[in-house]
Amino acid sequence: MTAAAFRHALDLVTRVRGVRGAMLVSGDDGLVVAEQLMEGIKGTAVAALAASLSGRLRRAMEAAGVGVSVFWHLQAEQGALLVVSGGGSGGGGLLIVAVAEPDGNIGLVRLGLLGAGGGGA
């Protein structure tokens, strides 16, 4: 993907109402590839934790026989973290990560993430 393609992918997510920011993260090492985050969000640390959680979930879900995780959603009191696997090489691939407000439309964010990742709903 080019820098322009990264920007386009993030735009697809951040234009959804209630999204506080989005990142592209390397699933293998948890490094930020590109980001559009609201000020105050610690992108580097969040990326590392999101990648680590993705890895644990992927291994657990594969062991459970439900296949590779295509989307996951961490619900919290004051918002949510949503992640899709954008494909790519290695076990982790590229992750598209969004941070959403508590009253955000999770369904729309999910569609935006899947669209950005090149997957269907």
Partner 1 sequence: MADDIRALSAQLAQDPQSLVFLRLGEALRRKGQLDAALRVAINGLERHPHLADAHDLYARLLADKHDYERAFDEWDMALRIAPSHTGALKGLAFLYFKVGDVAQAEAHLEAAQRHEPDDPSIAQALAMVRGGVSPPAPTPTAETAPTPTATPAATAPTAASPLDESRVFAGLEGAQEGLLLLDAAGRVLGGALRNPAGADVADAVAAYLAGVSQEAARTAKLLGLGAWGGLSAEGQHGNVHLAQPSKDALLLVVRDRGVPLGRLAILAQRTTAMARRWLERQG
Task: Kindly write out the interface string for residues 92-121 of this chain, putting x where it contacts partner 1 by CB under 8 A and - elsewhere.
Answer: -------x----------------------
Provide, rounded to whole angstroms, the least separation between the CB of residue 82 and partner 1: 10
Under the binding rule (CB under 8 A), the answer on residue 34 touching partner 1 is: no
Under the binding rule (CB under 8 A), the answer on residue 66 touching partner 1 is: yes
d(CA 99, CA 109): 9
Under the binding rule (CB under 8 A), the answer on residue 72 touching partner 1 is: yes
Residue with tokens 């709903």, as numbered in its chain: 121
d(CA 60, CA 54): 10
Contacts of 95 (CB under 8 A, 6+ apart): 24, 25, 26, 27, 50, 51, 54, 83, 84, 85, 86
Taking CB under 8 A as the criterion, the residue among 8, 15, 17, 42 binding partner 1 is 42
Could you list the residues that contact partner 1 (CB under 8 A)?
Answer: 40-42, 45-46, 49-50, 52-53, 56-57, 59-61, 63-81, 99
